[in-house]
């Protein structure tokens, strides 16, 4: 009896257990992005990435949004199920060869690698509407304010 109850409780817990998500702190995300080599990648700065991710997801890896066309967008960079990942529902190109649910956990290296692919495609970061609207052509240095980063443009002077 006791074992049975334990099993039912365990199953119920597993069923409702949320993904291991995380809301990233701005500077922590900045460091992850820099480590992954995104500073200057395709001409975009860490600030571009921070600004985009902020307006896309509020740095929340668990964020999912649904589009009128039936596709959905996943995670900190809001990657679309019609193009970049497979959610088992949307007909997809799955260009990043991954499950959309893997974009919802706290481990974002796979998200970053997929987002790099998006930025490498012909539209660059204009693939993200929020980047076009809120970040492109804006003064972005505030995004790295207070972060102890090597990505700042003045870091080159330190060693010369
Ligand atoms: Ca992930």
For 2, 15, 16, the CA distances from 12, given in Å and listed in that order, are 15, 5, 6
User: What DSSP designation does 127 have?
Assistant: G
Q: Does residue 67 belong to any structural domain of this protein?
A: yes
Domain extent, residue 126, equals 2-144
Q: Does residue 94 belong to any structural domain of this protein?
A: yes
Rounded Cα distance between 144 and 44, Å, is 14
Sign of the torsion formed by the C-alpha atoms of 139, 27, 81 and 118: positive
From 25, 28, 34, 56, the catalytic residue? 56
**pTM more than 0.85:** no
Q: Does residue 119 belong to any structural domain of this protein?
A: yes
pLDDT tens track for 125-158: 999 999 999 999 999 999 999 998 865 544 443 3
Distance 105 CA to ligand 1 centre (A): 5
For 2, 71, 77, the CA distances from 33, given in Å and listed in that order, are 48, 26, 12
Rounded Cα distance between 116 and 32, Å, is 13
pLDDT tens track for 11-35: 655 555 567 999 999 999 999 999 9
Asked if 56 is an active-site residue, the reply is: yes
For 37, 38, 95, 137, the CA distances from 132, given in Å and listed in that order, are 22, 18, 22, 8
Distance 120 CA to ligand 1 centre (A): 19
Q: Does residue 135 belong to any structural domain of this protein?
A: yes
Distance 104 CA to ligand 1 centre (A): 6
Q: Which two tokens stand for residue 30?
A: 């900045």
Q: Does residue 150 belong to any structural domain of this protein?
A: no
CATH number at residue 93: 1.10.530.10
Q: Does residue 25 belong to any structural domain of this protein?
A: yes
Distance 16 CA to ligand 1 centre (A): 19
Neighbours of ion ligand 1 (CB under 5 A): 102, 105, 107, 110-111
Number of domains into which the chain is organized: 1
Contact 27, 143 (CB under 8 A): no
Q: Which two tokens stand for residue 90?
A: 């949307």
pLDDT of residue 110: 98
> Which class for 33: exposed (0-12), middle (13-18), buried (19 or more C-beta within 10 A)?
buried
Q: Does residue 37 belong to any structural domain of this protein?
A: yes
Q: Does residue 151 belong to any structural domain of this protein?
A: no
Distance 100 CA to ligand 1 centre (A): 9
């Amino acid at each position: 009896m006791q074992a049975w109850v334990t099993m039912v409780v365990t199953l119920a817990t597993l069923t409702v257990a949320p993904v291991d998500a995380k809301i990233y702190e701005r500077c922590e995300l900045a460091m992850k992005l820099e480590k992954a080599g995104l500073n200057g990648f395709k001409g975009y700065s860490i600030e571009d990435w921070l600004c985009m991710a902020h307006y896309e997801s509020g740095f929340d890896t668990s964020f999912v949004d649904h589009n009128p066309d039936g596709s959905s967008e996943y995670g900190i960079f809001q990657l679309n199920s019609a193009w970049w990942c497979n959610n088992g529902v949307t007909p997809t190109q799955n260009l990043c060869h991954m499950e959309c649910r893997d974009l919802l956990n706290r481990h974002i290296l796979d998200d970053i690698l997929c987002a790099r692919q998006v930025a490498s495609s012909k539209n660059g970061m204009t693939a993200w509407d929020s980047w076009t609207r809120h970040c492109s052509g804006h003064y972005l240095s505030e995004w790295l304010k207070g972060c102890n980063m090597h990505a700042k443009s003045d870091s080159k002077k330190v060693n010369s």
